Amino acid sequence: MTRALYLLAPAILAAAVRAGPVVSLTPIDGAVSGSPGSTVGWGFTISSTADFLAVAATDFCVSATKPSDLPCASQVQYLGSYTDFSSADFFVVGPSPYSTTVTQNFDPTGPFGPTGFGSFAINGNAVVGAVLNGEIAVIYDLFAGDPAAGGEQIGGDNFISVPASVTVIGPIGIPEPRTLLSFGFGLAGLILLRRRIWKS
């Protein structure tokens, strides 16, 4: 039994080293919010230590399990539309000369083009309070060597998804009527207090 474990150890170690990529979103819970007519989006962090990884495409989906499920426009069109940034911004994650971890914040108007996985334009007629729960679906390719130097691709397209959601909120900076009423009462109280102090 000990001899069998000794023989299997290299295979187990190789499997552990070749662990798949790790993907997380910014914000970390994938929850973004915006008012009707606004645009929101997601940043990301991707790590790949064993192979060279290149993102081929991303999408916001209510449900997707494989590359052929994309695009997901019909799943989300009642609330808005998703624009993929990553397919236009070719980057590689992996061993030297690249970084094993790449992080990009969401910035739709970066100096060198938009950054992050993509943006979601909320429809102008979206109902405040509506929530669209889904996932950011990522299609990526793996390479045994540097893809920029002719590295051989390993298999076909790969798929991974991360939970995400879009919530429609009221316009920012416009207080609710109750808030305005409370503010009015507070201001009136301060004026009365000031008059009393001046009289005494």
| 91-139 per-position pLDDT tens digit | 899 999 999 999 999 999 988 889 999 999 999 999 999 999 999 999 9
Question: Do residue 152 and residue 67 come from a single domain?
Answer: yes
Range of the domain at 76: 19-169
Question: Do residue 179 and residue 144 come from a single domain?
Answer: no
Question: Do residue 121 and residue 58 come from a single domain?
Answer: yes
Say whether pLDDT at 14 is over 70: no
Share of the chain above pLDDT 90, in %: 68
62 within a domain of the structure (yes/no):
yes
Per-residue confidence (pLDDT) for residue 65, from 0 to 100? 95
If you average pLDDT over residues 132-149, what whole number do you get?
Answer: 95
Per-residue confidence (pLDDT) for residue 185, from 0 to 100? 58
Identity of residue 129: G
Per-residue confidence (pLDDT) for residue 197, from 0 to 100? 61
List beta partners, residue 22.
47
Q: What is the pTM assigned to this prediction?
A: 0.76
Question: Do residue 39 and residue 112 come from a single domain?
Answer: yes
Question: Do residue 81 and residue 180 come from a single domain?
Answer: no
If you average pLDDT over residues 66-79, what whole number do you get?
Answer: 95
Question: Do residue 57 and residue 142 come from a single domain?
Answer: yes
Question: Do residue 43 and residue 64 come from a single domain?
Answer: yes
Give 32's pLDDT tier (boundaries 50, 70, 90). Answer: very high
If you average pLDDT over residues 150-176, what whole number do you get?
Answer: 87
Say whether pLDDT at 23 is over 60: yes
Per-residue confidence (pLDDT) for residue 88, from 0 to 100? 78
